[in-house]
């Protein structure tokens, strides 16, 4: 039985999922992005710096990561650049707040409602979840009340959000003073208090000591927190293996503080960790509504044109592959590549599943919040947080960073002082890609195959989709 799910709610943008159900199980899945805006065409012939205005507006939920990627792409084509180290830290602070907020919001607003399906009533356990974590529940209320205060950090450092223009090559446009930083610390600690009270149940520093699944289960048994409820939910509902992705990962490296990455770049292919080489990325348009105009060696010379009437195509999302491999990106990819021991353990046991993906999102928020504290103490005062830079009139550069949802790349090609080509490869382009030229399904398509769907019950399918935290507005730029 074929079933087309459209439109789907509680995700960013528009996603259509077509599934083939046979014997109560999803046998095949096709995932489509159903909207086209044409950012890459709009960007052509504009001044390179205009990318700082346009590209964040690809996405309202992860606009800062586009600012960071665009800045990095511009930094890669500088004739001269004088980087402000304080500016880089301030950039991380803005990017971190956006990422943490995205993770927390996604969990409560987008994922939890799927746990509240009648399929998972689990002898009344569902009611407990609803009372605490559901819309208007006790944790939900506390977190959303505090969320608006947490945003003040973005107001102080970045003026406004979404769509700040504070992030530029070489640094940020505002030089912070001590008064700003003291206020930021106050706001940060209030937010941490609320998360410790609701989501984590323990202090962040204690939480991140959990380094394997046994310790995790001890924590889940002994602590009263939304995280422990989620862990129990996965066990009671028997979904630890649900929604298995390809198990290949990329992380482009995130939160570089001048010395180190908080999450280092790398690739996991068939179980082994390798260095990440951006030039091994290629986008297939076999099943996407695009026609090639010339041979594409790298995304720099991808000038493919939209063609909505293409036979056989089913998505506005292209299909990026790494050396031909289907890859998943996101918090789990970052934590496995950065060899966080808890996630090495979970990944070895379960692979990439609903359980491990969501766990990674929740734990990553804690890792980032702890880093935020450190960055605030590293800031110095008295220097300009904007360095300075001068662009070349011709050149190519790749801007790489990690958005909340995973690897984000901006491929910039400049000629005669204007943009000749601009290609954006966003996280959901990887996760929600259609089939490629070898007919390999994308990561979400793969994860949906084998998922139970008896009598048209889509509860499991919904959980798998939301576990990827899809952001279609990014992928159909």
Burial of 197 (0-12, 13-18, 19+ CB in 10 A): middle
Q: Is 453 in the site for another protein (CB under 8 A)?
A: no
| Closer to another protein by Cβ: residue 6 or 121 | 6
Cα torsion through 183, 360, 131, 217, rounded to 10: -120
Site stretch for another protein (CB under 8 A), options 54-62, 226-234, 250-258, 362-370: 54-62
DSSP code string of 237-291: TT-TT-S-----EEE--EEE-SS-EEE--EEEETTEEE---GGGEEEE-TTBTEE
Return the residue matching tokens 């382009």: 429
Strand, helix or coil for residue 105? helix
Residue pair 242/236 in contact by the 8 Å Cβ criterion? no
d(CA 87, CA 392): 22
Q: How far is the CB of 95 from another protein (least distance, A)?
A: 15
What does the per-residue mask of binding to another protein show for 244-283, with x meaning CB under 8 A? ----------------------------------------
By CB under 8 A, what part of segment 101-120 binds another protein? Answer: 109-110, 113
Touching another protein, residues 2-21 (CB under 8 A): 5-10, 12-14
Best CA proximity match to 452, nearest among 19, 6, 56: 19
Which of 47, 79, 179, 182 is close enough to bind another protein by CB under 8 A?
A: 47
The residue (of 45 and 212) whose beta carbon lies closer to another protein is 45
Q: Which is nearer to another protein, 211 or 384 (CB)?
A: 384
- If one asks whether residue 158 binds another protein (CB under 8 A), the answer comes out as yes
How near is the Cβ of 306 to another protein at its closest, in Å? 6
131 touches another protein (CB under 8 A) = no
Residues 364-423 that bind another protein (CB under 8 A): 381-386, 388
Q: Does 44 bind another protein (CB under 8 A)?
A: yes
Cα 405 vs. chain centroid, distance in angstroms? 1
**Which residue shows structure tokens 């945003």?**
151
Q: 97 or 242: whose CB is closer to another protein? A: 97
Asked if 128 touches another protein (CB under 8 A), the answer is no
Q: Contact between 310 and another protein (CB under 8 A)?
A: no
Q: For residue 16, what are the CA distances in angstroms to 7, 403, 432?
A: 6, 23, 10
User: Any contact of residue 173 with another protein (CB under 8 A)?
Assistant: yes
């Amino acid at each position: 039985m074929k079933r087309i799910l459209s439109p789907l709610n509680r995700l960013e943008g528009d996603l259509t999922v077509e599934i083939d159900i046979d014997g109560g199980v999803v046998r095949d899945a096709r995932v489509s992005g159903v909207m086209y805006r044409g950012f890459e065409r709009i960007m052509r012939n504009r001044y390179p710096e205009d990318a700082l205005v346009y590209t964040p507006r690809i996405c309202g939920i992860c606009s800062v990561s586009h600012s960071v990627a665009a800045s990095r792409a511009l930094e890669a084509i500088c004739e001269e650049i004088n980087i402000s180290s304080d500016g880089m830290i301030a950039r991380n602070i803005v990017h971190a707040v956006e990422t943490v907020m995205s993770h927390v919001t996604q969990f409560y607003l987008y994922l939890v409602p799927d746990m509240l399906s009648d399929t998972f009533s689990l002898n009344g356990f569902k009611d407990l979840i609803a009372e605490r974590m559901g819309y208007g529940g006790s944790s939900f209320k506390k977190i959303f009340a505090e969320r608006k205060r947490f945003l003040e950090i973005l107001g102080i450092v970045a003026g406004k959000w979404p769509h700040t223009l504070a992030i530029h090559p070489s640094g940020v446009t505002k030089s912070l003073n001590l008064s700003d930083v003291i206020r930021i610390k106050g706001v940060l600690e209030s937010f941490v208090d609320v998360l410790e009270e609701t989501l984590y149940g323990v202090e962040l520093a204690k939480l991140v000591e959990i380094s394997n699944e046994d310790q995790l289960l001890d924590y889940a048994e002994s602590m009263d927190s939304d995280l422990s409820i989620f862990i129990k939910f996965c066990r009671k509902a028997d979904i630890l293996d649900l929604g298995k992705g390809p198990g290949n990962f990329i992380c482009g490296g995130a939160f570089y503080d001048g010395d180190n990455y908080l999450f280092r770049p790398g690739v996991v292919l068939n179980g082994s960790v390798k260095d990440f080489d951006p030039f091994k990325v290629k986008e297939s348009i076999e099943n996407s509504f695009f026609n090639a105009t010339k041979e594409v060696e790298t995304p720099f010379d991808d000038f493919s044109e939209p063609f909505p009437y293409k036979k056989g195509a089913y998505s506005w999302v292209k299909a990026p592959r790494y050396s031909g491999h289907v890859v998943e990106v996101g918090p789990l990819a970052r934590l496995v590549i950065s060899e966080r021991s808890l996630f090495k353990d979970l990944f070895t046991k379960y692979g990439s599943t609903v359980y491990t993906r969501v766990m990674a999102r929740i734990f990553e928020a804690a890792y980032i919040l702890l880093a935020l504290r450190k960055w605030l103490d590293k800031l110095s005062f008295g220097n300009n947080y904007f360095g300075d830079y001068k662009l070349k009139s011709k050149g190519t550069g790749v801007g790489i960073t990690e958005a909340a949802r995973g690897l984000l790349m901006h491929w910039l090609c400049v000629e005669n002082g204007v943009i000749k080509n601009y290609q954006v490869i966003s996280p959901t382009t990887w996760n929600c890609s259609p089939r490629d030229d070898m007919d390999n399904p994308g990561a979400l398509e793969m994860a949906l195959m084998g998922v139970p769907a008896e009598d048209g019950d889509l509860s499991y399918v919904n959980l798998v989709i939301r576990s990827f935290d899809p952001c279609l507005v990014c992928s159909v730029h």
